[in-house]
Amino acid sequence: MKDLIIKGGRIIDPANKFDSVGDILVQDGVVKQVGTGVSAGPGSEIIDARGKVVCPGFIDLHCHLRQPGYEAKETIATGTRAAAKGGFTTVCCMPNTNPPLDNLPLVEFVKSLAEREGSIRVLPIGCITRGRKGEELSDMAEMARAGVVGFSDDGNYVKNARLMKCAMEYSLPLGLPIIEHCEDPDLAKDGQMNEGIIATRLGLCGIPTAAEEVAVARDILLAQLTGAHLHIAHVSTKGSVELLRWAKQRGIKVTGEVAPHHLTMTEELVLGYNTAAKVNPPLRTRADIESLIEGLNDGTIDIIATDHAPHTLNDKLCEFEAAASGISGLETMLGSLMKLVDTSKITLPVLIAKLTSEPGKLLGGRFGSLKPGVSADITILDPEARWTVDAETFTSKGKNTPLDGETLKGKVICTVFGGAVVFNDGQ
Size of the site for another protein (CB under 8 A): 22
142 vs 268, beta carbon nearer another protein: 268
**Could you tell me which stretch among 13-21, 123-131, 135-143, 269-277 binds another protein (CB under 8 A)?**
269-277
How near is the Cβ of 209 to another protein at its closest, in Å? 11
1 vs 318, beta carbon nearer another protein: 318
- Contact set for another protein, span 208-227 (CB under 8 A): 208
C-alpha span between 123 and 328 (Å, rounded): 19
How near is the Cβ of 273 to another protein at its closest, in Å? 4
Pattern 387-426, another protein, x by CB under 8 A: ----------------------------------------
Residue in 46, 161, 271, 313 binding another protein, rule: CB under 8 A: 271
273 vs 387, beta carbon nearer another protein: 273
| CA end-to-end distance (rounded Å), the chain | 20
**Is 308 within 8 Å of 63 (Cβ atoms)?**
yes
| List 13, 153, 302, 307, catalytic entry | 307
Q: Which class for 273: exposed (0-12), middle (13-18), buried (19 or more C-beta within 10 A)?
A: middle
How near is the Cβ of 269 to another protein at its closest, in Å? 13
Residue in 41, 105, 227, 272 binding another protein, rule: CB under 8 A: 272
Q: Does 200 bind another protein (CB under 8 A)?
A: yes
Q: Which amino acid is at 67?
A: Q
Which CA distances in Å does 64 have to 4, 67, 133, 157? Answer: 32, 8, 18, 17
Which CA distances in Å does 313 have to 17, 64, 401? Answer: 43, 17, 11
Q: Which residues have a Cβ under 8 Å from the Cβ of 48 and sit 6 or more positions away?
A: 7, 8
- Contact set for another protein, span 305-344 (CB under 8 A): 318-322
For CA atoms 104, 106, 109, 110, the dihedral sign is negative
268 vs 404, beta carbon nearer another protein: 268
Q: Where are the alpha helices (DSSP H) in 298-408?
A: 313-316, 333-342, 348-355, 357-362
Select from 145, 338, 117 the least CA-distant residue to 126.
Answer: 145
How near is the Cβ of 188 to another protein at its closest, in Å? 14
DSSP string for residues in 380-398: EEEEEEEEE--GGG-SSS-
Q: Which amino acid is at 201?
A: R
Which CA distances in Å does 348 have to 47, 165, 278, 297, 411? Answer: 22, 38, 29, 11, 13
Q: Does 269 bind another protein (CB under 8 A)?
A: no
- Contact set for another protein, span 180-199 (CB under 8 A): 195-199
* Structure letter (DSSP) for residue 325: P
Select from 189, 194, 186 the least CA-distant residue to 159.
Answer: 186
207 vs 241, beta carbon nearer another protein: 207
**Could you tell me which stretch among 43-51, 169-177, 220-228, 266-274 binds another protein (CB under 8 A)?**
266-274
**Could you tell me which stretch among 126-134, 211-219, 236-244, 268-276 binds another protein (CB under 8 A)?**
268-276
How near is the Cβ of 275 to another protein at its closest, in Å? 8
Q: Does 273 bind another protein (CB under 8 A)?
A: yes
Active site residue 219: no
38 vs 187, beta carbon nearer another protein: 187
**Could you tell me which stretch among 53-61, 264-272, 327-335, 385-393 binds another protein (CB under 8 A)?**
264-272
C-alpha span between 398 and 236 (Å, rounded): 22
1 vs 271, beta carbon nearer another protein: 271
308 vs 311, beta carbon nearer another protein: 311
**Is 243 within 8 Å of 223 (Cβ atoms)?**
no
Chain residues binding another protein by CB under 8 A are 195-206, 208, 268, 271-273, 318-322
Any idea which residues carry the catalytic annotation?
Answer: 307
